[in-house]
Amino acid sequence: MNNRIVILDTETTGLSPRAGNRILEIGCVEVLNRQLSGNNLHFYINPERESEEGALAVHGLTTEFLSDKPVFAKIAPEFLDYVRGAQIIIHNAPFDVGFLDAELALLGLPPFKEHVDEVIDSLQMAKEIHPGRRNSLDALCDRYGISNAHRTLHGGLLDAALLAEVYLAMTRGQNSLTMDLAGGEDEGEGAGAMELAPLAQVIVVPAGDEDLALHEDVLNQLDKEVRGSCVWRFEPPPPEADAAAAAPAA
């Protein structure tokens, strides 16, 4: 597994590269062995066009501010060297990757995914972890207790830094199961055994009278639909009974 992760975010002049919109900011935050390394990368880029009104309201980067910044072709070598071979985490990855591919195509270079190990969409990951809930970066910051009070406008490096904290919080459970296979002979019996992190106390909340009544109403409705007793009214036999029924006759 690649231990080098780069959290990446872009800001653009609009919503679609097909409409001629361009990247005007890139922010990258490096994570090594689940720790922020501090080896980050950030560019303001002259997009060689004005931002659409809606995009400008999001990032606040004016044409005047960006006029003396390097164009994408100038920063491309350093940017590609930085991300090469890394696992890339992007929130709503198709959006950013689409713009990166368009910029690289203008330079005659291969698509973005051919320069990196893989691209993971943290928005899709969040939807799988929190189905049916809001999973914007701001919503995830609130959910995981990550302060974004200083975020009045979107910014490539700022958003990448917030996403890095969100990503580490979302994937923290992956480190709860560890396996020590490097133990020497002097560690005694049991070296190399799997170590499980202690489980949190399981809280069981029994159904109340109102819940039981609602459940009974549902079962009654199912009984009407099947014109009999629905399967949910039958208790499975104990394991011993299953084993006895499956055993061949003597």
Give the Å distances, CA to CA, from 91 to 1, 63, 211: 21, 26, 39
180 labelled ligand-binding: no
CA-to-CA dists, residue 205 to 104, 130, 208, angstroms:
56, 22, 9
72/63 Cα distance (integer angstroms): 15
CA distance 170 to 6: 16
Q: Known catalytic residue: 154?
A: yes
Per-residue tokens: 163: 């996403």
139 Cβ neighbours under 8 A, 6+ residues apart: 133
For residue 240, say whether it is annotated as part of any ligand binding site.
Answer: no
Q: Which of 91, 130, 150, 154 is catalytic?
A: 154
Is residue 159 marked as binding? Answer: yes
Is 142 known to sit in a ligand binding site? no
Q: Which residues are annotated as a binding site for substrate?
A: 9, 11, 59, 159
Positions annotated as catalytic residues are 154
